[in-house]
Amino acid sequence: MLGFGNRQIIEVKEGDITGYFSQDKAILTGEYPYVETTFTNNIELIVQPRRKKRPSLVKVPFSGYYFQLFLGDFNGDGRDEILVRGSFLEVRGYAVGAIYAYSDGYLEKIFDHEIFTSSYPFKARYLDNYKIEVESLPLKERYLIDISGRPREYLDLLFDPTGKVKNNVSPAISPVIDVDPVKSIYNDTYSLIIKHNVLGIDNDDIFAIIESLFSLYENKVELINMGILTFGKRDGKITDCS
């Protein structure tokens, strides 16, 4: 990190932000209010064009840890948009993510993790016989997770001896845990994968990961695909491949 007046430079990236082959600088700055921690607040994003143009600045409305920049064409205009991402927690935890596009001297936010959370809420509940139902409310899609392979001592916390769900227990959907850019193999644009955890008794008790793939083509947030990744039980080593 380098000094920048009363602020610190978090990261600098170069890319074609203002035009084709423009090689501008994206500069992420912030303040570190606490000693011996990477917590950053009052974050600002600056674009400094290579040619003699005025710099553009926008305040990033999030605080947290491990902020970084990623440049890529998300909206298909042939120029780089700027992904600012980090974490709300110092250990691996809830993700912060926002994408900014340059337009006529200004930086416009075209996506952040809160837009996704409000537009695509989930709910989850236990079902009898050791199942979890996860529902995407706006899509009206349901996913079933079988947790019958969990240890009996664990299942007894959630279900009675007949497999009926106990009262006042329910799984949870975490906030966004990852905001990851994904490069298309068919063109030069990027999409986004947004991830959530399906949680049990605490934040470390993960049943599954919800993955949602989004396009930001022409600055429109559109869902491409959504699915759930569950974890199978390891079944020993394969010793005979004949």
pTM, two decimal places: 0.88
Rg (alpha carbons) of the chain, rounded to whole number: 22
3-state secondary structure of 9: strand
Q: Write out pLDDT tens, residues 123-172.
A: 999 999 999 999 998 888 999 999 999 999 999 999 999 999 998 899 99
Which long-range contacts does 152-155 make (Cβ < 8 Å, 24+ apart)?
155/130
Pick from 64, 69, 75: nearest CA to 101? 75
Token output for 141: 């899609």
Give the CA distances from residue 21 to residues 12, 18, 24, 49, 185, in Å, rounded to whole numbers and listed in that order: 17, 9, 9, 11, 21
Q: Write out pLDDT tens, residues 75-124.
A: 999 999 999 999 998 766 789 999 999 998 999 999 998 888 888 899 99
